[in-house]
Structure 1
């Protein structure tokens, strides 16, 4: 009798467990059915995000390429600016011309005579393009290598004791001499020529020892030069 009761209880328990399992399966299926639309929506959202990221990546690549092109253009512009500035500097260096007379205002006394050669300082500067002539020292310094033309004109008063004479030097080399000597009237002397100068070469005028020259408000005595062409 007891055996029959135990067996009956086990059958009842198994039937209840099977019923619960079946119910759980139905509930799970219902939950899955409810979640399927959300899963589809999530898949669509993720697909959209992936597509958007791909588009953004392509746009970033294009922007990077454009930035590189802009940087290359900017570098080219900067290079051109540098070249233009260098060209301007070369052109400015090639614009060289000066003209000066011995005294600034008035006239007399005479310059000279001296016992030794003395640098003539032409103080009245009419033109000094390129600032190659120094009115404090009387020396012209070549800014660039090239061919320059120089001219020298001297004025004097006739005197049997004092010639009107000066000499033009390049560095320490004598280039030419302007000379005139007469006892009366107003002698003048001039000379000039073209010189091939290297940058920093110097050109200046020395008064001949024992010579005397004159200048006044008419500015007779002059020193001048200009660059013909660079080399």
Structure 2
């Protein structure tokens, strides 16, 4: 008797499953044949009848949006790569840098009756050939931002002798920076300056000694002038 009851119970469950499947199939067929207006204009039968009721189909739109975003990201990546390559081509193709110093000598440079460019005639670096040791002048081969540094050294012969110099960095004839000394206490002195300057192509920069002043005791070649291009102007 117990076996018969169990058999009937199992058959009942199977019948309920069959009826449920028939109901789902009927609902699915009804949804497919529906001609009315749905809330989101689309209907996903698989989603609606196997997962949750009233499920609208958004997968195609999401897939399309994902594809569009991917294409835009690839375009952006390509544009950035092209920009990087262009910058490397511009910057890598322009090498401008120089370093020069005054020849070692026991004689004084100056005094003169007018301002005079200092002849840094010992060249250790001159990329771009912008520096002219004969004139002691740098001419910018391209427009851009440059860095310039100069070091001034002087040593008088005897204690109590006057140390008297003034040196200034000039850009196209205009004074940009200077350093000076005027005393009888120091027999030896040095100073340095570094500046950043925007230059147009053909712009000139040099270091000059003012009239009536002098630089002495340059036995170690410590008076120097250097410059380099930081980045060129892209316009």
Q: TM-score range by the shorter chain?
A: 0.5 to 0.7
The CA deviation string for residues 82-121 of structure 1, in whole angstroms up to 9 with x for no partner, is xxxx999955662111001011xx4121101112101111
Q: Determine which of 145, 148, 158 is the counterpart of 1:147.
A: 145
1:180 aligned partner: 181
Higher CA-based Rg: 1
Task: After superposition, give the CA deviation of every residue in 1:66-87 in whole Å (9 maximum; x if it has no partner).
Answer: xxxxxxxxxxxxxxxxxxxx99
Q: Tell me, yes or no, if structure 1 residue 102 matches structure 2 residue 117.
A: no
Deviation of residue 182 (structure 1)? 2.8
Change (3 A) 1:115 1:228: same
Q: Distance in 2 between matches of 1:165 and 1:193?
A: 17
Contact 2:91 2:231 in 1 (8 A): no
Structure 2 CA distance for aligned equivalents of residues 163 and 94 of structure 1: 40
Give the gaps of 5 or more residues in structure 2: 1-85
User: Alpha-carbon deviations, 1:149-202, whole Å to 9, x = none?
Assistant: 101111112465441321111111111112122323201122120000000000
Q: Does 2:120 align with 1:122?
A: yes
Quote the residue 2:212 is aligned against.
210
- Ranges in structure 1 where 5+ consecutive residues have no aligned partner: 1-85
Q: Residue 169 of structure 2 contacts residue 205 of structure 2 at CA under 8 Å; is this kept in 1?
A: yes
The structure carrying a bigger helix percent of its residues is 1
Describe the shift of the 1:201–1:215 C-alpha distance in structure 2 as closer, same or farther (beyond 3 A): farther
Asked if the contact 1:154/1:221 (under 8 Å) is kept, the reply is: yes
**1:42 matched to which residue of 2?**
none
TM-score, reference length from structure 2: 0.56
Structure 1 residues 89 and 125, CA, compared in 2 at 3 Å: closer, same or farther? farther
Query: Is contact 2:91-2:232 (8 Å) kept?
Result: no
From the superposition, tell whether residues 221 and 192 of structure 1 become closer, same or farther in structure 2 (CA, over 3 Å): same
Aligned to 2:227: 225
Name the CA distance, whole Å, in 2 between partners of 1:124 and 1:186. Answer: 22
Residue 93 and residue 167 in structure 1: after superposition, are their counterparts in 2 closer, same or farther (change >3 A)?
farther
TM-score by length of 1: 0.57
Q: How many residues align?
A: 144
CA contact (8 A) 2:161 2:187 kept: no
